[in-house]
């Protein structure tokens, strides 16, 4: 995969932008914060089947940040399509929505330092025998329509075949209508496991199709809030709280069984090809 250092794209992040009352001042004065989370995306944000309260990794992170600020937090479930608009329009103070950086999103909202990196992975039938991404250039690869998985497929020079959801893309590979499908590492691992239980052997190509830094989202022009959130993320990292939240919902011993690979770091420290 071609790697570049994201510098010019993120230089605006650390600089004060607009001279107006910062959102942080309003949050601290009112002792309240609205935190947007995914409405129904386990394990990040979803309603508990018993209590109907919103729970998940991102909900716990909202509470951890609110505790550091010393304010109450209102959890606001947000649909996938509304993630960026809710932040941009100021309907939430911050968004913790498994929010991955792309060029277009970076033009619309501010991203904090990433606290983990999701990887778009290619899954193929084991019988295919291919070992690297270069073996799939020009071949038909399935993904969800309009997803970052589709963008990653185009980035690698494959031919995207889109479906309404990830499950349909998976089935197309099982039925040999495509040579493989792309999804985030967490979901891809679940599909590989599900196929094995059905007697079908899939394999995940080790090289990621794309890297997607995941951050806290907020409006542009809020330098004090941006710096404060980054400082809190550093504190939660050093205290081990980010690891604890991850391990509770995603880590070893959960159905996802994924160790946390990445620490909080500046966006400019990550070498990656941003998706459009």
**Contact indicator for 215, 96 with CB cutoff of 8 Å:** no
Look at residue 206 and tell me whether its pLDDT is greater than 70: yes
In the chain, what are the domain boundaries? 11-116+212-269, 119-204
- Give the pLDDT of residue 23: 95
Helical segments of 100-176, H only: 103-108, 148-155, 166-174
DSSP SS3 for 5: strand
Gyration radius from the chain CA atoms: 19
pLDDT digits (tens, 9 = 90+) for 136-193: 889 999 998 877 888 889 888 999 999 888 889 999 999 999 999 998 888 888 899 8
Please state whether the predicted TM-score (pTM) of the whole model is above 0.75.
Answer: yes
What is the torsion angle, in degrees rounded to the nearest 10, for the CA atoms of residue 24, residue 88, residue 38 and residue 53? 50
Q: How confident is the model at residue 240 (pLDDT cuts 50, 70, 90)?
A: very high
- Does the domain at 11-116+212-269 match CATH 3.30.70.60? Answer given as no
CA distances from 272 to 5, 84, 103, 138, 267 (A): 6, 22, 12, 22, 10
- Domain covering 119-204, topology: D-Maltodextrin-Binding Protein; domain 2 (3.40.190)
Q: How confident is the model at residue 1 (pLDDT cuts 50, 70, 90)?
A: very low
Residue 260 main-chain phi, psi, to 5 deg: -80, 120
Highest mean pLDDT among 3-12, 66-75, 137-146, 196-205: 66-75
What is the torsion angle, in degrees rounded to the nearest 10, for the CA atoms of residue 96, residue 100, residue 103 and residue 104? -60
Least confident of 44-53, 114-123, 145-154, 267-276: 145-154
pLDDT digits (tens, 9 = 90+) for 21-63: 789 999 999 999 999 999 888 899 999 999 999 999 999 999 9
CA distances from 160 to 137, 166, 170, 223, 243 (A): 11, 13, 13, 39, 35
Tell me whether the CATH fold assigned to 11-116+212-269 matches the one assigned to 119-204: yes
Least confident of 5-14, 104-113, 140-149, 172-181: 5-14
CA distances from 101 to 98, 108, 201 (A): 10, 11, 32
What number of helices (H) and strands (E) belong to the chain?
9, 12
Share of the chain above pLDDT 70, in %: 92
CA distances from 31 to 26, 74, 223, 251 (A): 8, 11, 19, 32
Beta strands (DSSP E) in the chain are 32-38, 46-47, 54-55, 72-78, 94-100, 110-111, 116-125, 140-144, 159-163, 180-184, 202-204, 210-218
DSSP SS3 for 231: helix
Least confident of 2-11, 95-104, 221-230: 2-11
- Give the pLDDT of residue 273: 84
- Give the pLDDT of residue 115: 97
């Amino acid at each position: 995969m071609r790697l570049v250092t994201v510098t010019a794209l993120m230089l605006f992040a650390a600089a004060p932008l607009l001279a107006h009352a910062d959102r942080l001042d309003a949050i601290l004065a009112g002792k309240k914060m609205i935190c947007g989370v995914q409405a129904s995306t386990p394990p990040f944000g979803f309603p508990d089947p018993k209590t109907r309260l919103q729970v998940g990794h991102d909900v716990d992170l909202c509470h951890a940040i609110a505790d550091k600020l010393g304010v109450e937090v209102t959890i606001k479930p947000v649909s996938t399509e509304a993630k960026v608009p809710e932040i941009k329009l100021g309907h939430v103070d911050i968004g913790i929505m498994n929010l991955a950086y792309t060029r277009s999103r970076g033009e619309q909202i501010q991203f904090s330092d990433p606290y983990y990196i999701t990887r778009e992975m290619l899954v193929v039938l084991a019988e295919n025998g291919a070992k690297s991404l270069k073996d799939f250039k020009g071949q038909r690869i399935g993904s969800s329509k309009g997803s970052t998985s589709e963008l990653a497929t185009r980035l690698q020079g494959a031919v995207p075949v889109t479906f309404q959801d990830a499950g349909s893309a998976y089935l197309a590979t099982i039925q040999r209508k495509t040579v493989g499908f792309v999804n985030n590492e967490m979901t891809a691992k679940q599909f590989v496991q599900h196929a094995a239980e059905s007697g079908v052997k899939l394999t995940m190509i080790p090289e990621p199709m794309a890297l997607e830094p995941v951050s806290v989202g907020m409006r542009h022009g809020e330098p004090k809030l941006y710096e404060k959130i980054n400082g809190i993320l550093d504190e939660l990292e050093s205290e081990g709280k980010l690891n604890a939240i991850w391990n509770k919902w995603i880590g070893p011993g959960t159905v996802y069984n994924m160790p946390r690979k990445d620490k909080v770091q500046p966006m400019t420290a990550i070498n990656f090809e941003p998706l459009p």
